[in-house]
Amino acid sequence: MTTIIYRDSFARGNVVRETVPKDERNACAWCGQPARFRYGWDDDSGPRHSHISPKQFCSRSCERSYNEC
Ligand SMILES: [Zn+2]
């Protein structure tokens, strides 16, 4: 299940967050703490389709830090 957390009208899409099922949770790819979410991109064009990264994170700030490096 994905939730829209940020609408990027300039890029015509949404940043989405998926809650990882409990038995699939790993460590946060950035800080190593228990992760709960995967983040991705949901494009406005065409049928609704989310591109979710397989990496898991504990928070949006960790996901941003990871992708800025
Ligand atoms: Zn983290």
- Per the structure, how many domains does the chain have? 1
Task: Supply angle C-alpha 15, 13, 38, rounded to 5.
Answer: 25
Please list the pLDDT of the chain residue by residue as tens digits (69 residues). Answer: 789 999 999 999 999 999 999 999 999 999 999 999 999 998 887 666 778 999 999 999 999 999 887
Say how many Å lie between the CA of residue 68 and the centre of ligand 1.
Answer: 14
Q: How far apart, in whole angstroms, are the C-alpha atoms of residue 1 and residue 23?
A: 15
Q: Which residue type does 35 have? A: A
Residue 1: the pLDDT is 78
Host domain of residue 47: 2-67
Say how many Å lie between the CA of residue 37 and the centre of ligand 1.
Answer: 10
Say how many Å lie between the CA of residue 26 and the centre of ligand 1.
Answer: 11
Q: Are 12 and 22 in contact (CB under 8 A)?
A: no
Say how many Å lie between the CA of residue 69 and the centre of ligand 1.
Answer: 14
Say how many Å lie between the CA of residue 39 and the centre of ligand 1.
Answer: 12
Alpha-carbon distances of 24 from 19, 35, 53, 55, 65, rounded to whole Å: 10, 10, 14, 12, 23
